Copies of this chain bind each other. A is one copy, B any other.
């Protein structure tokens, strides 16, 4: 019995590429029975063939010539794990135009150019799959596009950046300050040499753009996402949050409202009893609320060699099934709506505010009145410990329009009795 072979090419052989190579090797024996064909890695595009040679069984698969991959008609599946915008974007478009199916883990590219790539795939009846681009090994794209397709998704909340979740977990559980926790994350390999994209929320923002697009069937790009990082969060804020029964997490929030989609990434206080509060260390989770299914959550490893490879190989196997059944392009772009995305000022949030103020009568009242004048309802207002001549005031607001809150803050920051706004953090929930 001759086995059916489907040839694939890997673009890139870094951590993730290496993981894919390994998983395909481990699965080799079972593939035929599982999906009706064997996936063979025919070519691997690398920059430095010598350096890559040690990583593969047969170095003759290595090439640094994209054209040799593109123009090999026997290669049906391209697995793009180079990352970055270019040349990844061009390679993917060229591959799709040549009738090759593409799997990618490239969240930057999908978050900015997903529409372009999906349109190109649809035009050529090719599959373009990117389960690995969001939350690593956690199945979330397929569940959203298929399993939960009978829902109007109302909200997607994600802890989708392992670096920041590790940092915040250390700050919470061990009382570390941000800089100390970041240093530890770097030492342990959880943070990259340049951690900017993680700690500023950009990485999470890209994943939220992709999930929002699928959840609400309307294209959202990274530019639409309001992002705020965690560099200003202090151990003190985390202690105060705890007093309120909350933790601080960097949450990606995508919400459907009648007046538009809200998509943002911000550190937020979240109740200790929420399922997301138990998501610690470098784990990721995505919480989805749908009109039929209610609350669901998907939890797991959001990054790393093998978890990311798990997602990629799942996509590759799906393409093999589609090729065998002649139904490639079966699920393409699902953005058939054009919903407006709200500006930051028009979103609604609750706020946790910590102020250092003059310790004298009337100060609390005057701050309360500024908030009230700007339609900011106060849920809680606590005078905390004194610090010399200063008192500390903690305010938790009800849900308010962000624009109104910002107007109030402009005035509060200018008040002579207010010495410092020590913290301003959003609170998840109603």
Contact = CB atoms under 8 A, between A and B. Distances in A.
A310 interface: yes
Contact of A313 (B292, B304, B309): B292
A296 interface: yes
Contacts of A327: 322, 325-327, 330
Contact of A294 (B149, B301, B321): B301
Interface residues of A, number: 60
Given A143-B142, A143-B143, A296 B299 contact: yes
Contact of A334 (B26, B34, B294, B331): B34
A33 B300 CA distance: 32
- In this complex, the member of A149, A292, A309, A331 whose beta carbon has the largest number of chain B beta carbons within 10 angstroms is A292
Contact of A35 (B148, B149, B311): B149
Given A149-B313, A314-B147, A306 B292 contact: yes
A307 interface: yes
A142 B146 contact: yes
Interface string A272-292: 000100100000000000111
Interface stretch (A52-60, A131-139, A364-372): A131-139
A245 to B, nearest CB: 15
A300 B287 CA distance: 9
A115 to B, nearest CB: 16
A429 interface: no
Contacts of A322: 327, 330
Contacts of A337: 33
A299 B337 CA distance: 29
Contacts of A398: none
